[in-house]
Amino acid sequence: MAAFAHSAPCWVDVQLSDLEAGKRFYGGLFGWTFRAGDGMPFADALSGGRLVAALAAKKDGRMPTAWGVYFATDDIRATVAAIREHGGQIITDPVRAGRAGIVAQAADPGGAVFGLWQPEEREGFERQNKPGSFCWTEVHTRQPEKVDPFYEKVFGFRGTDLDEAGNDVSGDAEALVDFRMWSPEGTEPGPDTAVGGRSVITDAFPAEMPSYFLTYFTVADCDAAAELAVQLGGRVSAPPFDIPYGRMAVLVDDQGALFAVLQPSELLP
- Which of these, 161, 81, 164, 165, lies nearest to 116 by C-alpha position? 81
**Between residues 159 and 60, the one the model is more confident about:** 159
How does residue 40 score in pLDDT terms, banded at 50, 70 and 90? low
Q: How many whole angstroms separate alpha carbon 246 and alpha carbon 219?
A: 11
Look at residue 171 and tell me whether its pLDDT is greater than 70: no
pTM > 0.95: no
Look at residue 3 and tell me whether its pLDDT is greater than 90: no
State pLDDT tens for residues 233-259. Answer: 999 999 999 998 999 999 999 999 999
194: which residues sit within 8 A by CB, 6+ positions away?
160, 181, 182, 183
pLDDT for residue 1: 40
Q: Name the percent of the chain lying above pLDDT 70.
A: 91
- The single-letter DSSP state of residue 168 is B
Taking the CA atoms of 41, 252, 215 and 73 in sequence, report the sign of the dihedral they define.
negative
How does residue 169 score in pLDDT terms, banded at 50, 70 and 90? very low
Look at residue 9 and tell me whether its pLDDT is greater than 60: yes
- The single-letter DSSP state of residue 6 is T
pLDDT for residue 126: 96
3-state secondary structure at position 246? strand
The pLDDT of 95-121, averaged and rounded, is: 95
Look at residue 172 and tell me whether its pLDDT is greater than 50: no
63: which residues sit within 8 A by CB, 6+ positions away?
15
Burial of 215: CB neighbours in 10 Å, binned 0-12, 13-18, 19+:
buried
The pLDDT of 63-71, averaged and rounded, is: 95
Q: What is the residue-wise DSSP string for 38-90?
A: TTEEEEEEEETTEEEEEEEE-SSTTS---EEEEEE-S-HHHHHHHHHHTT-EE
